[in-house]
A and B are shown apart, each in its own frame.
Chain A
Amino acid sequence: MNVSKPQTIDDAVLFLTEHPDAKIVAGGTDLLPRINQKLEEHAELCYIDDLPEMCEVRAEQDGSIFVGASIRLAEVAEIKILTKYTGFLQAASKVASPQIRNQATIGGNILQENRCMYFNNQVPWSDVNHCFKWGGKQCFQYKNSKECVALFQSDVAPVLISFGAKAVIRGSEGIREMPVKDLYMQAGLKNLAHNDILLGVKLPPLFKTEYSAYVRKTIRGSFDFPLVSCAVRVCVDANIIKDSRVVFGAAGVMPAELHMSNEVFIGRKIEDLPLLADELQPAVSKIIAPFQDTRINAAVRKDMAKEIFIKAIAQICQGN
């Protein structure tokens, strides 16, 4: 395995353009275990962990905050200007274990591969389960599926989407921005070219009064991927809800947004939030894809989603 380490972003983009098989690696906590498990093979790695532009956190003139993609998840808690982005801090602090959070980057968390026990716990000498991820033509989750339905597992992305964060991307044409939500496509694909590098994310300025929360459900309290997770953000002015966003993670191949939340919440009093949330419960269970694995069935996943939504709302009310 060949590891190249470009010194600048320009070099990195150039390198990736010239090496269409090279795989980007930064913290490595997502990619390297798969390589070790022999689920993936890469002859060429492009190591972009410490490019200066990607290690920055800065307040922009418009009040938004740029967080470099190479910032470690463990560092997020220590960044003062992020203190009020409560949900973001909560999500970053829940990823995996302390050791992994010291190494894993925000960019890597956002762009991590979807997971599925049929693939990630594959036996390399077996061809029983050669699925779409292996370049095969079948899915072991849904026998009739025409594409991969592996589960989206990022803790950080649902929160960023709830804040309306933008991804800042450097490609061969220069720098561009797109909503974080638009990074995700069907079958676990990412809306990025091979030579696109995620420089960081831009969090919009906070509303005057704003509450956010991230709640997730796991089998093991620590060091686990979510069974399902929920990020909620509510903006309030004079006790009246002005804006809201509710996003679920581990809800399917992509983060799932509860678009109805604004219909129900806007213009209502923040005190009424728990009651309003109850109204939304049937809508929650509809947007959770019926993904199931050996540990949890589809019905339970839907029910858990409702439960953590209510928990997140309760946290927001407590913060009020």
Chain B
Amino acid sequence: MDELKVIGKPIRRIDGKVKVTGKAVYSDDVILPRTLIAKVLHARYAHAKILRLDTQKAKDLPGVVAVYTAKDIKFNDKYFRMGATRDTWVLAEDYVRYIGDMVAFVVAEDEEIAEKALKLIEVDYEQLPVVATLTDAEAAEHLARGDKPGNVAMPLVVERGDVEKDFAEATVFVSGKYSFPSLHQLHLEPNSATAVYEMGKLTVYCASQVWFHIREDISAVTGIPEKDIEIKPMDIGGAFGARNDQPLPVFTALLATMVKGTVKMTNSRLEEFLACRPSLGMDIEITMAADSEGNFLSKKTKLLSGFGAYSSDSDAVTAIACLRADNNYRFRSVYIEGTGLYLNHAPTAAYRGFGNPQMHFALEQTIDKLAVKLKMDPTELRMKNFMHAHETTIHGFKPQTNGIAECMNKAKELMKWDEKKKNSVKGKGVGVAALIHCSGSRAGKPEFAGSSAHLRLEGSGALTVLIGECEMGQGAKTVFAQIVAEELGVDPQQVNVIMGDTALTPFSTGTNGSKLTINLGNALLHACKDLKRKLTECLRERIGTGPVIVKDGNIYGEYTGEYVMSLEEASARACYARNGQAFLGVGIFEPKADLGDRTGYGNLAPAYPFGIQMAEVTVYDDGSYTVDKLVSVHDIGKVINSQMAYGQLYGGVMQALGSVTMENLSINNEGIYQANTILEYKPPTILEMPEIEGALVETIDPYGPYGAKCIAEPPIIAIAPAVANAIYDACGLRFEQAPITPALVKKKLMQKQRGANAEEEA
């Protein structure tokens, strides 16, 4: 293979300039003539029966166009997500089940009138007991919703191997009971959508990770066929999984259809917190069994996950949390009991990592406990038990590359691990955690696993990539421009990339599962090849160039190597020879990935990223602690753009640090989200960030474009357990609950002191 000219280089983002100069156009920037404004009346209580709902006064307010409740909506029960549970409604019918549940829509001439009208809607409720915690939900003394016995949304029981036999053989056991809260993705741009209904057709301007799913959802609740719905992609101010299930654009389209006009809806920050889809909080119990040499034998896991009042992607998240982390290690057997539970919380769904960070928080701490018990270095214990490339893991993964050992060595070097372990300083500690994820995990459509891409070359020389996924800040547009630039030898800044206009692009299943570089990158590579073949064929047959190839943005003789003409000239002549017809390169990637059987067994992804994350902390006598340094080393396959890969790495590490040290929705027993402002939710600011040392290990995966896998989700996965393990190393206190706030550390130190005092007295 020739040396790569564009791939692997820190190419400037092709969409960077419009964003940093404020010229990017986001959904709320869409201003169309005769736009009506819609607002939602949300539930007052986390669980209540609607006794009376009277909208007459609101309807009578001048300037109000319509007020709708559940009974006005023909397909009120048709708002399904991709989840299998199918248990949600557009508007609440007889019951409200979380604060933020939607009771009525108001459509008015302007925002002020709409808000006034909301206040005129009269609702009488009968309050019902609120199921606010996983413990309460499991106990099922009260039901979060009357129609779901035992509060159970999803049972999953998986056993591989002979757990009882392996437990009987084992000599060392460790266990823990962990708790990881529901987190908000905290994308900065609130959801907004504008929908135009005209003569039976809908055009919807919005920001989404799943343009084609949104189209399906809109079709389901409006009854308008998908072919008559067009989703116009707007620039996206962050997603992180939050735009995987978005009621807002769907309901905007529904209202536009109902009033037969143009309707706009924009969430307030409060609505983003209460009426969107945060991550799943989980309680996880693990017992691990090993032999005295430190070989992992078996593991029993009991997991409870909070679905909220309705299910969204929560079933898929729960399944991944149950299974994925195990695949990093050589277990002989595992037993998993995962239960998704209904709570009177907002429905929960995807957040970067898709359930994997929650389980890593539990498993990687349990492994740390085992290392303590065996008096082994936690890095060595892990190294001893890692799976290798070409082996089939316990749940059926078949990674062709696995750079985890290199990651570990590099991380130890960056952290000066051995040195710090040897010369331990009081109050200081280091912690390690390993991670595995999927690169392009199969999700979205059971019918197929792959992705499609188009590349168009026009007579003007314009090159346009057409892809049905989204650019949400991750840099996919630039990656695709780089691939075209590499294959055709043009400047990446000259490649147009259109992502997500449902009228223009191939169908896609959603920007999730860390799949764009590997799946769409492969598809686009095929599209480039297809385009080159079609162009050179035309040049040979219709222009008479003889056999030619495309290279460095020019056309050269295939055998002579001589310059024939520029690509621009070639495109003009070839297109005109075809009566103006542009060239369309079509690319399909069909990964060798299974959907998994009913127990989740299968090779779910074309490739698997691995990584090691480490933390160094100082814990002070007074209970405060500082995270002094974080190390994050990832096997991501071939690096496509080093600058953006590190950007993903630092961003993920920062989000993870927030989740383990401070972020909390603070949901109380009444189901109220007390941290419903960014101030109270407390994400870290740049001033909280310690030094981050990142490194990338380049394995060349046979299934990745140029050998690339992914970097999207991995950096968020194992920082939390690394920090918790470091705190243990520093002070001997084990925190099985996140976030580990100074108040929590203080409380635990006080308990420890009291315990010590009590012992002394005794």
On whether the beta carbons of A222 and B688 are closer than 8 Å, the reply is: yes
Task: Kindly state whether residue B551 has any CB partner on chain A within 8 Å.
Answer: no
Contact of A125 among B41, B677, B682, B742 (CB under 8 A): B41
B746 close to A300 (CB less than 8 A): yes
- In the complex, what distance in Å separates the CA atom of A121 from the CA atom of B674? 6
Give the complex CA separation of A269 and B684 in angstroms: 42
Is B675's beta carbon under 8 Å from chain A?
A: yes
Closest CB in chain B relative to A183 CB, distance in Å: 25
Give the size category of A's interface with B: 20 to 34
Contact status A123-B743, CB under 8 Å: no
| B44 and A128 within 8 A (CB) | yes
Contact of B682 among A224, A299, A303, A311 (CB under 8 A): A224
Task: Give residues 633-689 of B contacting A (CB, 8 Å).
Answer: 662, 664, 666, 668, 670, 672-677, 679-680, 682, 684-685, 687-688
Question: Which chain A residue shows the least CB distance to B658?
Answer: A220
Main secondary structure of the interface of A (DSSP, over half): loop
A278 CB to closest chain B CB (Å) equals: 14
Which residue on chain A has the smallest CB distance to residue B747? A300
Question: Which A residues are in CB contact (< 8 Å) with B676?
Answer: 121, 123
CB–CB A220/B672 < 8 A: no
Instruction: Give the distance in Å from the alpha carbon of A299 to the alpha carbon of B750 in the complex.
Output: 10
Nearest CB on B from A298, distance (A): 11
- State which of A190-198, A240-248, A289-297 sits at the interface with chain B: A289-297
Partner of A121, one of B42, B623, B680, B750: B680
8 contacts between A and B (CB under 8 A): A121-B673, A121-B675, A123-B270, A125-B42, A295-B664, A303-B750, A304-B743, A307-B622
CA distance A227 to B623 in the complex (A): 14
Q: Which residues of B contact A222 (CB under 8 A)?
A: 685, 687-688
Q: Report how far A304 CA is from B688 CA in the complex, Å.
A: 21
Residues of the A chain whose Cβ atoms lie less than 8 Å from the Cβ of B687: 221-223
Q: Is the interface of B mostly helix, strand, loop or mixed?
A: loop
Among residues 127 to 155 in chain A, which have CB atoms less than 8 Å away from a CB atom of chain B? 127-129
By a CB distance below 8 angstroms, the chain B residues around A2 are none
A14 located at the interface, meaning its Cβ lies under 8 Å from any Cβ of chain B in the complex: no
Q: Contacts A117-B666, A219-B741: A126 and B99 contacting too (C-beta < 8 A)? A: yes
State how many angstroms separate the Cβ of A41 from the closest Cβ of chain B: 12
Q: Which chain A residues have a beta carbon within 8 Å of chain B's beta carbons?
A: 37, 97, 117-118, 120-121, 123-129, 217, 219-224, 227, 293-297, 299-300, 303-304, 307, 311
Please, which residues of chain B bring their CB within 8 A of the CB of A293? 674
Q: Are A123 and B99 within 8 A (Cβ)?
A: yes
Flag if B45 contacts A126 (CB, 8 Å): yes
A128 touches B672 (CB 8 A): yes
For B741, give its contact among A128, A295, A311 (CB under 8 Å): A295
Supplied contacts A219-B741, A297-B743, 4 more A-B pairs, CB within 8 Å: A117-B666, A118-B674, A222-B687, A300-B746
- Chain B: minimal CB distance from A69 (Å): 24
Taking a contact as CB atoms closer than 8 A, the residue among B274, B688, B743, B746 that contacts A220 in the complex is B688
Does A117 lie within 8 Å of B674, measured CB to CB? yes
Q: Is B524 an interface residue (CB 8 A)?
A: no
CB atoms of A129 and B688 under 8 A apart? no
The answer to whether A220 and B685 touch (CB under 8 A), given A37-B270, A121-B674, A126-B45, is yes
In Å, the complex CA distance between A37 and B623 comes to 34
A221 & B270 in contact (Cβ 8 Å cutoff): no
Q: Are B743 and A300 in contact (CB under 8 A)?
A: yes
Most chain A beta-carbon contacts within 10 A, residue among B44, B99, B676, B679: B679
Of all chain B residues, the one with the shortest Cβ separation from A307 is: B622
CA distance A12 to B132 in the complex (A): 50
Contact B743 A296 (CB under 8 A): yes
User: How far does the Cβ of B462 sit from chain A's closest Cβ, in whole Å?
Assistant: 42
Q: Bound state CA distance, A297 and B744, in angstroms?
A: 9
| Contacting residue for B666 out of A124, A224, A295, CB 8 A | A295
Chain B residues with Cβ under 8 A from A224's Cβ?
682
CB distance from B535 to the nearest CB of A (A): 53
CB neighbours (8 Å) of B685 from chain A are 97, 220, 222-223
B residues in contact with A299, CB < 8 Å: 747, 750
User: A303 and B746 in contact (CB under 8 A), knowing A222-B687, A223-B685, A224-B682?
Assistant: yes
Residue numbers in B under 8 Å from A129 (CB-CB): 672
Name B688's contact: one of A121, A217, A221, A303 (CB within 8 Å): A221
Is A227 in contact with B743, judged by CB distance below 8 angstroms?
yes
Closest to B624 in A: A217
A220–B654 CA distance with the chains assembled, in angstroms: 13
Which are the 3 A-B pairs with shortest beta-carbon distances? A222-B687, A294-B666, A296-B743
Chain B nearest CB from A141 CB (Å) reads 12
A219 and B742 within 8 A (CB): yes
Residue with the highest number of chain B CB atoms closer than 10 Å, among A125, A127, A296, A299 = A125
Residues of B within 8 A of A311 (CB): 622
Contacts of B750 in A (CB 8 A): 299-300, 303
Interface status of B118 (Cβ within 8 A of chain A): yes
Tell me whether A219 and B662 are in contact (CB under 8 A).
yes
Residues of B within 8 A of A219 (CB): 662, 682, 741-743
Chain A residues closer than 8 Å to B662, beta-carbon distance: 219-220
Give the shortest distance, in Å, between A113 (CB) and chain B (any CB): 14
Q: Least Cβ distance of B125 to chain A in Å?
A: 10
Task: List residues of chain A with CB within 8 A of the CB of B672.
Answer: 123, 126, 128-129
The CA-CA distance from A221 to B750 in the complex, in Å, is: 22
Q: How far does the Cβ of A267 sit from chain B's closest Cβ, in whole Å?
A: 29
Are B680 and A117 interface neighbours, CB within 8 A? yes
CB neighbors of A among B616-632 (8 A): 622-624
Contact between B680 and A125 (Cβ–Cβ < 8 Å)? no
Q: Could you tell me the distance in whole angstroms from the C-beta of B117 to the nearest C-beta in chain A? A: 13
Contact of A217 with B742 in the complex, beta carbons under 8 Å: yes
Q: Which residues of A contact B674 (CB under 8 A)?
A: 117-118, 121, 293-294
Bound-state Cα–Cα, A311 to B623, Å: 13
A221: chain B residues at CB < 8 Å are 687-688
A129 to B46, CA, bound (A): 13
- Report the minimum CB–CB distance from A102 to chain B (whole Å): 15
**Of residues B99, B674, B741, which shows the largest number of chain A Cβ atoms within 10 Å of its Cβ?**
B674
A297, B668: Cα distance in complex, Å: 14
Expressed in whole angstroms, the Cα–Cα distance for A303 and B747 within the complex equals 9
Q: How far is the CA of A150 from the CA of B680 in the complex (A)?
A: 15
- Do A125 and B746 contact each other (CB < 8 Å), given the known contacts A221-B688, A222-B685? no
A273 to B270: give the CA distance in the assembly, Å: 48
Q: How far is the CA of A117 from the CA of B675 in the complex (A)?
A: 8
Measured between beta carbons, the chain B residues less than 8 angstroms from A97 are: 685
Q: What chain A residues lie within 8 Å of B746 (beta carbons)?
A: 300, 303-304, 307
Shortest CB-to-CB span from A118 to chain B, Å, is 8
Min CB–CB distance B723 → chain A (angstroms): 15
Task: Give the most central of B45, B682, B743: most A CB within 10 Å.
Answer: B743
Chain B residue at minimum C-beta to C-beta distance from A218 = B742
Residues of B within 8 A of A300 (CB): 743, 746-747, 750
Which residues of chain B come closer than 8 Å to A37, judged between CB atoms?
A: 270, 677
CA–CA, A297 and B742, complex, Å: 12
Q: Which residues of B contact A127 (CB under 8 A)?
A: 44
Contacts of B675 in A (CB 8 A): 117, 121, 294
Query: Bound state CA distance, A214 and B328, in angstroms?
Result: 49
Kindly list chain B residues whose C-beta atoms are within 8 Å of the C-beta of A118: 674
> Is there contact, CB below 8 Å, between A128 and B274?
no
How far, in angstroms, from A224 to B679 measured CA to CA in the complex?
7
Q: Which residues of A have CB within 8 Å of B742? A: 217, 219, 227, 304
Interface residues of B in 424-461 (CB under 8 A from A): none
Which of chain B's residues have a CB closer than 8 A to the CB of A294? 664, 666, 668, 674-675
Closest CB of chain B to A129's CB: distance in Å?
Answer: 7
Cα A278 to Cα B666 with chains together (Å) = 35
**A12 to B41 CA separation, bound complex (whole angstroms):** 40
Query: For A117, what are the chain B residues with a Cβ–Cβ distance below 8 Å?
Result: 666, 674-675, 680
Which residues of B702-746 have CB atoms within 8 Å of chain A's CB atoms? 741-743, 746
A123 CB contacts on chain B under 8 angstroms: 42, 99, 270, 274, 672-673, 676
Q: Compute how far the CA of A293 lies from the CA of B743 in the bound complex, rounded to whole angstroms.
A: 11
A223 to chain B, nearest CB (A): 5
Give the distance to chain B from A304, nearest Cβ to Cβ, in Å.
6
